[in-house]
Structure 1
Amino acid sequence: MDKEKKAIERIKIASEMSLHHYEKPLVCAYSGGKDSDVLLELFKRSGIPFEVHNSHTTADAPQTVRHIREVFRKLKLEGIKCEIEIPTYKGEPTSMWKLIPEKLMPPTRLVRYCCSVLKETGCANRYIATGVRWDESTARMQREEFEKIANKKKDKEKFTITMLMNDNDKRRRMNELCMQQNKMVVNPIIDWTHRDVWEYISSEKIETCELYQCGYDRVGCIGCPMAGKKREREFEDFPQYKKLYIHAFERMLKERERRGKENTWKTGEDVFAWWIGDENVPGQMHIKDFIADE
């Protein structure tokens, strides 16, 4: 079975479970990136009923936001239900710029509160599909085709635990897990490589975000710590986002002072320099200093 057929078969299996146990269609999680564009095309070809959901991160590039809106406009014309969810925190609308002062620290590779609040809270008690792939990172190599997402409390925040399932009878395994009415996840293109994705986009003439034509190989939140050194170009191309982060860091420092927390940095620019990777910032704090305050 080729990769397209295998991916569609995974979608159909998950759809069957979603309709049976949740009594609602499978949800295609859509971020505006190339993987979700491929995933959406596979959904269309599968013939199943489905909905499309986007979590508005508030830190996506304007080009990404425009691409998402255009894709959703076309889907709605086809009669497909689409939702762009505005993030909330403690019952109130929020954004990346509000979260940073509230969390008293910048988002980092180790503490990714931004993902848990801005991206992962939607579609509770639903069956969703994502464009997660094994070759994206070492961490994602641990992911499975079909997963259960369970919520646990940690410092009053929800975080994700993936249940690994090794039995070959996928329908039986999902049947058992769906009965528990947690969020379920299927990753239809989990075994696709970067090359597979681009070859499929090219062969099927799938429209993608214009940032890819500008030399970007990822579409996500501007300044995401997971992007490493690539952030430097992002902030060159999107200087207003750099200003937004610096302003949020300044408010973070004021909030830390108000709460009686240690503050050795002087300005938001100092925090930004540390955050972007400058190891010679005067008064630099270690990430453990922040975690201890959480």
Structure 2
Amino acid sequence: MTDELQQKVERAVKLIQSAGADGKTVEVAYSGGKDSDVILELTRMAGIKYQAIYKNTTIDPPGTIKHVKEVGGVIVRPKMTFFEHMTKNGFPNMFQRSCCRVLKEYKVLDRSIQGIRKCESTKRDQVYQEPTECRVYGTGRKKQSVEALYPILDWTDDDVVTFIEERGIKVHPLYYREDGTIDPTRRLGCMCCPLAYYKKRIDYFRRYPRMVKAYCRAAKRYMDTHRDTPTVQKYADVYEWFTREVFFERQSGWQDHKTVTKYTHVDYKEFLEKVFGITLNL
């Protein structure tokens, strides 16, 4: 471990110790990802009273629940599953992703240690400037505040991998390459998350084609119960809606596509079956 990383580790441990100095239990926001494993190990090193809390999104990758149980995490189940939420709200996308609020963004304990790192995205680099902040969940009378701590905010991917290797931490199976080394660029996250770049999202659906069926089933139930909404009236069927949401990053691209195919019948069901190698019978 380099001197620079050792200093980062020491700062992180001190920050965590300050959170638990009063003896109260502190939440470790544990997603099952590599950064969660790092903050969990740092919290253990800090010697404070804690609970590793896993907020089950119901669409996390295979092996996540098992990994959470192996580290002793407490599994908190949501009031509704992701697909139940879709049935009521339709397709989530980058501009309408209330699924995060329902499945992940809520208070458990007064203090929460979270594995957010600035280098993960430009937006995070701009938004997260300090290692602590007051985060507010909910609105109106349901508004609740949490003291959030980000002990690895300034850590790089190399820092994370080095720490994991030197501490002998077992991470989620999805992070390991065939040769057993760790690929820090891989993200755990929700399966087929709408915040992912659309090409990566398409690749995810190809790897897990059963998710295509699940998405379409939930979206069809929404269409059947929300026939008069402007969104539903835009599309001939759920297959066309799925194609728009998954294959087109911008509305302008979809409009161009619709202009080109204006006088041509497009069988979107057949298109999806061909792309994902599945049979769709809803």
Quick one: which of 128, 138, 152 aligns to 2:122?
Answer: 138
Correspondence for 2:7: 2
Q: What are the within-5 Å matches in structure 2 for residues 70-85 of structure 1?
A: 70-72=70-72, 82-85=73-76
Which sections of structure 2, spanning at least 5 residues, go unmatched? 1-5, 178-182, 260-282
Task: State the AA in 1 paired with 2:43.
Answer: F
Q: 1:269 and 1:70, CA in 2 relative to 1: closer, same or farther beyond 3 A? A: farther
Q: Distance in 2 between matches of 1:264 and 1:139?
A: 32
What SS does the corresponding residue of 1:148 show, helix, strand or coil?
strand
> How does 1:77-226 map onto structure 2 within 5 Å?
82-88=73-79, 94-103=80-89, 105-123=90-108, 126-141=110-125, 142-143=127-128, 144-151=130-137, 153=139, 182-213=145-176, 217-226=186-195
**What secondary structure is seen at the aligned counterpart in 2 of 1:107?**
coil
Give the CA deviation at 1:157. 8.4
> Quick one: distance in 2 between partners of 1:200 and 1:277?
38
| Mapped contact 1:246–1:268 kept (Cα < 8 A) | yes
Q: Say whether the 8 Å CA contact 2:193–2:201 is kept in structure 1.
A: yes
CA contact (8 A) 1:133 1:192 kept: yes
Structure 1, residues 252-278: CA drift from partner, whole Å, max 9, x if none? Answer: 212221668651212222222112133
Shift of 1:63: 1.9
Indicate yes or no: 2:235 matched with 1:250: no
RMSD: 2.4
Q: Using structure 2 for the length normalisation, give the TM-score.
A: 0.77
Q: Residue 83 of structure 2 aligns to a residue in which SS?
A: helix
1:207 Cα deviation from its structure 2 partner: 0.7
Distance, in Å, in 2 between the alignment partners of 1:13 and 1:238 is 43
Query: TM-score, normalized by length of structure 1?
Result: 0.74
Check whether the contact 1:64–1:211 (CA below 8 A) recurs between aligned residues. Answer: no
Structure possessing the higher relative contact order (Cα contacts under 8 Å, 6 or more residues apart): 1
Contact 2:202 2:247 in 1 (8 A): no
Could you tell me which amino acid in structure 1 is paired with residue 174 of structure 2? L
Identity score, percent: 31
Map of 1:15 onto structure 2: 20
Q: Which has the larger radius of gyration?
A: 2
Q: Deviations over 1:71-130 (max 9, x none)?
A: 22xxxxxxxxx4211111xxxxx1110111212x3212222211111001241x511110
**Structure 1 position 16, deviation (Å):** 2.1
What is the CA–CA distance in structure 2 between the aligned matches of 1:29 and 1:126, rounded to whole Å?
12
Equivalent residue pairs, number? 239
Measure, in 2, the Cα distance between the counterparts of 1:95 and 1:195: 35
CA 1:58–1:196 in 2, change beyond 3 Å: closer, same or farther?
same
8 Å contact from structure 2 (residues 111, 146) kept in 1? yes
Letter in 2 for 1:110: F
**Which amino acid in the other structure matches residue 207 of structure 2?**
D
Question: Which residue type is aligned with residue 103 of structure 2?
Answer: L
Q: Give the residue type in structure 2 aligned to 1:40.
A: L
Structure 1: stretches of 5+ with no match in the other structure: 73-81, 89-93, 159-180, 284-294
Distance 1:108 1:260 in 2: 16
